[in-house]
Amino acid sequence: MMFRRTIFSLALAVLVQAGWSPVAEASETASGFVQNLSSQAIQVLQDDSGSLAQRETLFRALLVEGFDLNLIGRFVIGRAWKSADKYQRESYLRAFGEFIVHKYSAMLGGYAGETMTVVSEQTSGKKDILVHTRIDRPSGPPIEAHWRVRSQGGAQRIIDVMVEGISMAVTQRAEFKSVIQRHGIDGLIQILDAQSNKLSATAAAN
């Protein structure tokens, strides 16, 4: 699980640090969108001159522009979204966004020479394109990753990443379902805030 999360974080962080805008016009192919993301990986990840705080700020901008965090956030709490009131929804989406930023920013140093290549793309349902990529790594066999891309508001957005057949959104949904069953959505919000604060404190200490 840690390696999958590191690969996910790696692919995102690469472009942020390069200063490249992840937002692609809908006319661009999904493969082109993902390839643009991966093309600057080695150059940027080898540059450790930026601080973690700088990376996190840029990483946040990438998530907002390149990923549909609201859609992902709603999906990962399943039925609890329908029963939540307006205040709970707003608080949850805020807490979820902060949690994702801190969670993956904490793994920005996990690069070990991996490279990513687009292999193919295919339609998935009526709205999405699934981009198949191969992640080559010096210390082991290649890893397959699939990026689910959806056109939203005239631009492409990533709504899920699947590594070795495991969906990050589905995995997160299972984890959140367990928390909601025990503590409710308010408890989940408190836990997400606590985790974000903990990760921030860890980053500051380093």
CATH number at residue 96: 3.10.450.710
In a domain, 125, yes or no: yes
- pLDDT one-digit tens code per residue, 181-194: 999 999 999 999 99
Lowest mean pLDDT: which of 29-38, 52-61, 136-145, 182-191? Answer: 52-61
**According to the model, what pLDDT value does residue 178 have?**
94
Domain containing 59: what range? 2-196
CA distances from 131 to 58, 119, 143, 191, 199 (A): 24, 8, 14, 33, 31
Does residue 40 register a pLDDT over 80? no
In a domain, 102, yes or no: yes
Question: How far apart are the C-alpha atoms of 56 and 38, rounded to whole Å?
Answer: 19
In a domain, 171, yes or no: yes
How do beta strands 140-152 and 155-163 pair?
Answer: antiparallel
- pLDDT one-digit tens code per residue, 126-171: 889 999 888 787 878 888 888 899 987 778 888 998 887 888 889 8
Q: Which residue has the higher pLDDT, 192 or 56?
A: 192
Give the residue-averaged pLDDT of 49-71: 70
In a domain, 203, yes or no: no
The b-or-e profile of 157-180 (16+ CB within 10 A means b, else e) is bbbbbbbeeeebbebbbeebbebb
In a domain, 143, yes or no: yes
In a domain, 42, yes or no: yes
Does residue 112 register a pLDDT over 70? no
Number of domains into which the chain is organized: 1
In a domain, 46, yes or no: yes
In a domain, 202, yes or no: no
